[in-house]
Amino acid sequence: VRKVCHMTRVGRKYTVQALVFIGNGQGIGGYAVGKSPMIKPHHAIFDGFKRACRKLFFIERLNDHTVYHDFYAECNYTKMFVQRQYQGHGITCHPHLDVICRLLGIKDIYIKVTGGKRNYLALCHAFVTGLLNQETHRDLAERAGMHVVKLDPARNYYPEIVCSPLNTPMKKEEDLTLQERLRLDDFYGEGRSPFKKYDKWAQIRYRQRPFRDMYSTPMLYKAWPYRNMEKVMIRLLADETLPRWTRDARKLIGDVQHEEAMKGLRPIPRGIGIGWPLLPGKGK
């Protein structure tokens, strides 16, 4: 709510403007600006509420808690970089955008605002425009003609196919253009990226210790039994996709290859390794 004045022949005339944003917490929202005379300021809120009810829109959300992808949006001198976050991260953004996210049902997001931060109408308009223009996984798969693969850090970046094209034929490696080979951050960010401060002491604090300090440092000595935990975790994640290379599987494959070799379907290897066997009397 703010007070606005303009000059007339009689003198300054004051009015009240109120930016009203409504939402149900499930992706439906709307916003509008209401106006009223100075003597009835609360009527501006009622007017804005009625206008917002006639301008409702729906926002697509990923798993009902965040946006589908990072994007860049701007309005006048207000610019913002929106980044999706994992579940449980929370809302980290401008206080007014915090209220908008809660009204729309967005629970995990990070927004970096640059430029004009006090123009609340531009903030609202830029954020809503970016939300309405975002692509879902289905839209991205149909537009690009490729699989949409998810690399989750919680799963050690194990690739997982989220969506595949249904109506668009799958493209091959030689059919991809330079525009399609761009990273999604560059495509949706329009070539822009938020400014990040570089910590020059980060490399010094977390530099890798030499191998001779492996047993001299108590923490590294305690972590030595868990050195293969990451490989085991990746193996467990791939159980549903790739079979395990166990002794029984190796013996079964060896028996099959032996039967094919005895039937003449597979050539019998000569010697062991990559060299040819030496005949008697030749070689040392």
Helix axes 95-104, 120-132, angle to 10 degrees: 40
pLDDT of 31-83, one tens digit each? 999 998 888 888 999 999 999 999 999 999 998 899 998 889 998 889 999 99
Helix (H) or strand (E) holding 96: helix 95-104
pLDDT of 190-204, one tens digit each? 767 776 665 555 555
pLDDT at 262: 86
**72: nearest Cα among 127, 30, 29:** 127
pLDDT at 100: 94
Q: Is the pTM of this model over 0.75?
A: no
pLDDT at 20: 93
Residue 269 pLDDT grade (very low, low, confident, very high; cuts 50, 70, 90): low
User: What are the phi and psi torsion angles at 153 (to 5°)?
Assistant: -65, -25
Tell me what percent of the residues of the chain surpass a pLDDT of 90: 30
Cα–chain center distance at 91 = 15
Report residue 244 as tokens.
């395990």
User: What are the phi and psi torsion angles at 32 (to 5°)?
Assistant: -165, 170
Query: What type of residue is 56?
Result: L
How many C-beta atoms lie closer than 10 Å to residue 22's C-beta?
16
**93: nearest Cα among 56, 49, 150, 131:** 131
Domains and CATH numbers, the chain: 2-58 (3.30.160.20), 59-196 (3.30.230.10), 208-265 (no CATH)
Mean model confidence pLDDT for the chain: 81
How many C-beta atoms lie closer than 10 Å to residue 105's C-beta?
17
User: What are the phi and psi torsion angles at 180 (to 5°)?
Assistant: -80, -15
pLDDT of 78-136, one tens digit each? 999 999 888 888 999 999 999 999 999 999 999 999 888 888 999 999 999 999 999 89
Whole-angstrom Cα Rg for the chain: 31
pLDDT beyond 50 at 228: yes
Angle of CA points 135, 82, 185, to nearest 5°: 60
Distances (CA, A) of 220 to 204, 207, 216, 232: 17, 14, 8, 19
First-to-final CA distance of the chain: 97
Separation between Cα atoms, residue 108 and residue 91, nearest integer Å: 5
Residue 270 pLDDT grade (very low, low, confident, very high; cuts 50, 70, 90): low
**23: nearest Cα among 62, 51, 57:** 57
pLDDT beyond 60 at 219: no
pLDDT beyond 90 at 11: no
User: What are the phi and psi torsion angles at 227 (to 5°)?
Assistant: -70, -25
12 three-class SS: strand
Separation between Cα atoms, residue 65 and residue 104, nearest integer Å: 10
